[in-house]
């Protein structure tokens, strides 16, 4: 155990805890107030996208509590206002590689190994302290990758760059340059790039979704995987998609009481698609294991298909949640609501490198276009994993391997590896991913559950009424215009959380489509970066 102070109180936490898990473990659920309304905020996304959990550490610059490892004797202060200045920024370290891989999840790790095994020097960049991504997130105190990935850390041709986030990407005369922020600024140059940047979780808003205690289902899993911390004791898991069942089973295994699992979808009501799932027996067996875990739990969670969460209520944190199936409503006594409505690919770097992407039909997200070799429309840039379509590790790993081999070939390596088996695995994984998308669509009438005062942008506290006014009064029909009129998407997260929701709302209220409404993924600076690093990079 280590000792730290939070707003003058002396507390203890397990060595290796993040600031967020340490605070939650001590019963602290909120540690920041919003700039405009003074509303409490705490953990939400759990992977550094939303910036709801900002704190100051040792009188320094604001940092994300979910991404910052706690150290003995740290002095943590609530709030995002800077109480000091950033340390002097050293000149960026320069790393030269044949292939640069961004993202160390299953796709990125597979790409790095594939390229390195055929003779390329590889730089593997990831914002986490150790590889694994969200699917193979490692415990802070005892990281242990799956056997097939363990040689990443000792491979002589792979340079691991942990705690590094690419904030700018560009190309000049066939050479790609990636500028990274983190514990030390770094500039990576390479002849080919593999993007495996993953995705952010989509949460459809409801009244009270900004209360501390409402988190994403992915945040709940990240807490448990990295530090073993539970987000609460009585938990509602809600939204739609297969992630709900897995998250609920993980929570039960870690000792939480899952009160209910509310899924807006009814997969059993789609027998044609359910029968098609028989082509994927391994996935069905995995789902059966989760269902068995929940069936054996005491108390057993209620599995409510066709139900949605309408609101969360409490005095500074969640105490109750209201759910409905359209005919009946129930109030549930809970202290945590873990929500997910699917995943939205992170397109910032692919857009910066000029890669074409395609808007999905009926879902506020786009996916990067790739050819049979995983190359994007930008020569020398390859993509794998959630960036090319949500599909989990089963899709990301073979895509990553193929992308790594293709990037190595582009960089000048001789590649003789046969790829027929990879192509077969990719096709099978994409078939299953498309099946899941049909089984778990977004609820058709979710907008009907919102009220004019429902918050849409968590950072700027923009409401549905603000968006409706901008559309009706100013005749704004595209998301960029609405952003300028309402500040929706101008906060800390730069639209990562509210952008897809605002896109769907705008398209619905204007009668347009998602493609013409536009999105907020295009950012010339992909992530917040100190001005001193901008200066050092010029």
Query: Are residue 128 and residue 196 in the same domain, yes or no?
Result: yes
Residues 132, 425 contacting (CB under 8 angstroms) = no
Its pTM stands at 0.94
Query: Are residue 130 and residue 181 in the same domain, yes or no?
Result: yes
In a domain, 212, yes or no: no
Residues 218, 46 contacting (CB under 8 angstroms) = yes
Query: Are residue 65 and residue 142 in the same domain, yes or no?
Result: no
Pairing type for strands 93-102 and 122-125 reads parallel
Q: Which domain holds residue 490?
A: 450-517
pLDDT recorded at residue 81: 62
Measured distance CA(286)–CA(276) in Å, rounded: 16
Q: How many CB atoms lie within 10 A of CB 234?
A: 17
Measured distance CA(198)–CA(366) in Å, rounded: 13
In a domain, 510, yes or no: yes
Query: Are residue 164 and residue 179 in the same domain, yes or no?
Result: yes
Q: Which phi-psi region, left, alpha or beta, contains residue 59 (left: φ > 0; alpha: ψ -120 to 50)?
A: left
pLDDT recorded at residue 141: 65
The torsion angles phi and psi of 283, rounded to 5 degrees, stand at -70, -40
Query: Are residue 392 and residue 496 in the same domain, yes or no?
Result: no
Q: Which phi-psi region, left, alpha or beta, contains residue 151 (left: φ > 0; alpha: ψ -120 to 50)?
A: alpha
The torsion angles phi and psi of 408, rounded to 5 degrees, stand at -65, -40
Query: Are residue 335 and residue 356 in the same domain, yes or no?
Result: no
Query: What domain count does the chain have?
Result: 4
Query: Are residue 337 and residue 283 in the same domain, yes or no?
Result: yes
Of 52, 78, 104, which marks where a domain is finished?
78
Compute the residue count for the chain. Answer: 538
Q: What CATH code is carried by the domain that includes residue 142?
A: 3.50.50.60
Q: What CATH code is carried by the domain that includes residue 497?
A: 1.10.10.1100
Check residue 207 and report its DSSP letter: B
pLDDT recorded at residue 88: 66
In a domain, 282, yes or no: yes
In a domain, 27, yes or no: yes
In a domain, 325, yes or no: yes
pLDDT recorded at residue 139: 75
Residues 403, 384 contacting (CB under 8 angstroms) = yes
pLDDT recorded at residue 29: 95
pLDDT recorded at residue 342: 96
Please state whether the peptide bond connecting residue 299 to the residue before it is cis, i.e. omega within 30 degrees of 0. Answer: yes
Measured distance CA(474)–CA(469) in Å, rounded: 7
Query: Are residue 74 and residue 47 in the same domain, yes or no?
Result: yes
Query: Are residue 321 and residue 374 in the same domain, yes or no?
Result: no
Of 78, 101, 132, which marks where a domain is finished?
78
Query: Are residue 471 and residue 396 in the same domain, yes or no?
Result: no
In a domain, 85, yes or no: no
Q: For every one of its 538 residues, what pLDDT tens digit does the chain have, with 9 covering 90 and above?
A: 999 999 999 999 998 899 999 999 999 999 999 888 889 999 999 988 999 999 999 988 889 999 999 999 999 999 866 555 666 667 778 999 999 999 999 999 999 999 999 999 999 999 988 899 988 887 766 667 899 999 999 999 999 999 999 999 999 988 999 999 988 889 999 999 999 999 999 999 999 999 999 999 999 999 988 888 999 999 999 999 999 999 999 999 999 999 999 999 987 667 777 678 778 888 889 999 999 999 999 999 999 999 999 999 999 899 999 999 999 999 999 999 999 999 999 999 999 999 999 999 999 999 999 999 999 999 999 999 999 999 999 999 999 999 999 999 999 999 998 999 999 999 999 999 999 999 999 998 899 999 999 999 999 999 999 999 999 988 888 999 999 999 999 998 999 999 999 999 999 999 889 999 999 999 889 988 888 888 877 7
Q: What CATH code is carried by the domain that includes residue 47?
A: 3.10.20.440
Query: Are residue 238 and residue 334 in the same domain, yes or no?
Result: yes
* Residue 447, both tokens: 């907008």
Measured distance CA(309)–CA(263) in Å, rounded: 9
Query: Are residue 336 and residue 351 in the same domain, yes or no?
Result: no
Burial class (CB in 10 A: 0-12, 13-18, 19+), 463: buried
In this structure, is the dihedral angle defined by the CA atoms of residues 396, 399, 401 and 404, taken in order, positive or negative? negative
Identify which of 89, 116, 249 has the alpha carbon closest to the alpha carbon of residue 194.
Answer: 116
């Amino acid at each position: 155990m280590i000792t730290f102070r939070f707003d003058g109180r002396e507390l203890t936490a397990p060595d290796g805890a993040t600031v967020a898990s340490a605070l939650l473990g001590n019963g602290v659920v909120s540690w920041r107030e919003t700039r405009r309304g003074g509303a409490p905020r705490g953990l939400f996304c759990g992977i550094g996208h939303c910036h709801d959990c900002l704190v100051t550490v040792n009188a320094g610059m604001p940092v994300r509590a979910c991404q910052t490892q706690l150290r003995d004797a740290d002095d943590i202060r609530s709030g995002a206002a800077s109480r000091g200045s950033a340390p002097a920024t050293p000149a960026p370290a320069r790393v030269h590689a044949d292939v640069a891989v961004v993202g160390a999840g299953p796709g990125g790790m597979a790409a790095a190994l594939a390229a390195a095994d055929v003779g390329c020097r590889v730089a593997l960049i990831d914002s986490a302290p150790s590889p694994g991504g969200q699917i193979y997130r490692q415990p802070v105190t005892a990281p242990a990758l799956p056997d097939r990935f363990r040689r990443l850390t000792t491979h002589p041709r792979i340079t691991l760059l942990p705690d590094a986030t690419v904030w700018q990407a560009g190309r000049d005369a066939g050479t790609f340059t990636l500028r990274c922020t983190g514990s030390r600024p770094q500039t990576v140059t390479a002849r080919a790039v593999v993007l495996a940047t993953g995705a952010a979780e989509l949460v459809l808003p409801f009244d009270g979704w900004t209360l501390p205690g409402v988190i994403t289902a992915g945040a709940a899993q990240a807490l448990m995987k990295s530090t073993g911390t539970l987000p609460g004791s009585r938990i509602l898991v809600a939204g739609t998609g297969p992630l709900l069942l897995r998250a609920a089973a993980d929570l039960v295994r870690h000792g939480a009481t899952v009160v209910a699992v509310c899924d807006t979808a009814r997969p059993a009501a789609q027998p044609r698609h359910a029968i098609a799932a028989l082509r994927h027996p391994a996935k069905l067996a995995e789902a059966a294991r989760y269902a068995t875990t929940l069936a054996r739990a005491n108390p057993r969670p209620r599995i409510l298909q066709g139900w949605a969460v309408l609101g969360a209520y409490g005095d500074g944190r969640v105490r109750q949640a209201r759910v409905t199936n359209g005919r009946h409503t129930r109030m549930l006594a809970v202290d945590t609501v873990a929500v997910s409505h699917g995943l939205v690919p992170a397109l910032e770097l692919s857009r910066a490198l000029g890669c074409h992407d395609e808007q999905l039909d009926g879902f506020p997200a786009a996916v990067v276009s790739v050819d049979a070799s995983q190359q994007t429309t930008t020569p020398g840039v390859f993509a794998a994993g959630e960036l090319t379509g949500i599909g989990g590790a089963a899709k990301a790993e073979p895509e990553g391997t193929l992308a790594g081999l293709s990037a190595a070939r582009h960089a000048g390596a001789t590649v003789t590896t046969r790829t027929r088996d990879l192509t077969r695995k990719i096709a099978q994984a994409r078939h299953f991913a498309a099946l899941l998308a049909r089984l778990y669509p977004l609820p058709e009438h979710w907008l009907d559950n919102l009220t004019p005062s429902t918050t849409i942008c968590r950072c700027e506290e923009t409401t549905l009424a603000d968006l409706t006014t901008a559309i009706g009064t100013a005749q704004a029909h595209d998301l960029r215009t609405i952003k300028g009129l309402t500040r929706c998407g101008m906060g800390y997260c730069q639209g990562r959380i509210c952008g897809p929701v605002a896109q769907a709302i705008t398209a619905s209220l204007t009668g347009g489509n998602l493609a013409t409404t536009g999105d907020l993924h295009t950012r010339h600076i992909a992530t917040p970066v100190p001005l001193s690093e901008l200066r050092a990079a010029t």
